Amino acid sequence: MLPLLDTVIGFVAIMLVLSMLVKSLTSLIKNHVDFYSRNLKHEVDRLALAVLGKTWNQAVADLENNPATQRDAAWFKGINWERLGDEFLTKDHMKWILKKLGAPDAALENLEDRLEVHVAKLSYAFGTRMKNLALVVGLALCLGLDINSFAIWRTLYADQQLRTTFATTYAKTALQSAENAGTTGQKGSAPATPMARSGAAGGSVSPIEEQAKLDQDTRDFMNKLASFQKDVAFGVGRIWSWKAWQQEEEKAAQEKVEFGRLKKLEFGAVELLGSLMTGVLISIGAAYWHDLLRELTSFRQS
């Protein structure tokens, strides 16, 4: 019973570390590619279309064509969507803005309820996109590095020393780093909001500081990845490794089977399936693996 429990704990610890790596990488990509402001602009466009009967751009162009409102048009054109969050979509802000754009009073009734719907749609779109991005990042990482969950499980189950190390020291370190990184508690917690982006909310962080932080995050990620590859070398990159191919060849020789095309293909297929499975498993989320590992560790201790 204990070997199996240790194997499960070691495996879950590895999944947790991998999930955190994916989280870091997703966060890095999110900071480079701004999905949020595009969706925010779209929601404002939708609202303008419903209230004014024309899109935001058309309404601003109309203001621009009118000499009396040309100054307002310049202000509207100067809005930097990348620096705005959903706090922009408040009743007072939008009422003032839509009135400036020519909305009649009657069209502004129920504005608060409408805004709630738009904010909900915005959060949903952003959350869904982040989850999809995490899945892609997880798959790319596992397939690229060939992180095979079958090989990891098999090795942990077969090697007692490795199993004990991963079930105790490694699991403890993984739990600690997850707690430090704020991956605690709720299963399936919502993805980080765009407000977590450095400087997105108040614009108090300069671009140089923002770039420095991004560089630091990239370095941290690379260090964590190198450390993971070193620790879990037995289940990573087997398809790219000359040694692993030799081992497979020796294994086939011991079994008195020819290491021919079919055997090689089988080896490749197992690696592909194993990596694919790891990608799917880690897409469940770091919070889930953290909770599971904590419960399993306390069960082992008791």
Partner 1 sequence: MEGKLSGELREKDKKLIREIRGQRAVWVTAIGIIVIMLGVWVGPAIKLLFGYPLASRVQIAYAGMSLLIVFLVLMFGVGSWSRYVPEDSDVAPPESKVDIPTKPAVQDQNATPREGGEGGQANVATP
Least distance in angstroms from the C-beta of 257 to partner 1: 17
Type and span of the H or E element at 207: helix 207-231
For residue 161, the minimal CB distance to partner 1 (Å) is: 29
φ/ψ (deg, to 5) at 147: -90, 100
Helix, strand, coil distribution of the chain in percent, nearest 5: 80, 0, 20
Whose Cβ is closer to partner 1: residue 129's or residue 294's?
A: 129
Nearest residue (CB) to partner 1, 181 versus 233: 233
Q: Closest separation between CB of residue 279 and partner 1, Å?
A: 8
User: Shortest approach of partner 1 to residue 259 CB, angstroms?
Assistant: 11
Nearer to partner 1, 110 or 298 (CB): 110
Q: Which is nearer to partner 1, 51 or 174 (CB)?
A: 51
Q: What are the Cα distances from residue 249, in Å, to 13, 70, 153, 272?
A: 31, 77, 21, 19
Min CB(253)–partner 1 separation in Å: 16
The label of the residue with tokens 């307002």 reads 72
- C-beta of 20: minimal distance to partner 1 in Å? 20
Nearer to partner 1, 71 or 261 (CB): 261
Shortest distance (Å) from residue 206 CB to partner 1: 29
Distance CA 286, CA 20 (A): 6
- Residue 193: HSE in the Cβ half-sphere, 13 Å Cα cutoff: 13
> How does 44-55 read in b/e, with b if 16+ C-beta sit within 10 Å?
bebbbeebbeee
State whether residue 112 is helix, strand or coil: helix
Residue 100 tokens, joined: 């400036």
Q: Which is nearer to partner 1, 54 or 294 (CB)?
A: 54
- Least distance CB 109 / partner 1 (angstroms): 6
Closest C-alpha to 75, from 100, 51, 93:
100
- Residue 92 burial (10 A CB sphere; 0-12, 13-18, 19+): exposed
Which residues form the interface with partner 1 (CB under 8 A)?
A: 38-39, 42, 45-46, 49-51, 53-58, 104, 106-107, 109-110, 121, 124-125, 128-129, 132-133, 135-136, 139-140, 143-144, 146, 239-240, 242, 245, 264-265, 267-268, 271-272, 275-276
Q: For partner 1, which is the closer residue by CB, 16 or 98?
A: 98
C-alpha–C-alpha distance, residues 62 and 242, integer Å: 67
Task: Measure Cα distances from 99 to 48, 59, 150 in Å.
Answer: 11, 11, 61
- Whichever of 45 and 72 has its CB closer to partner 1, that residue is 45
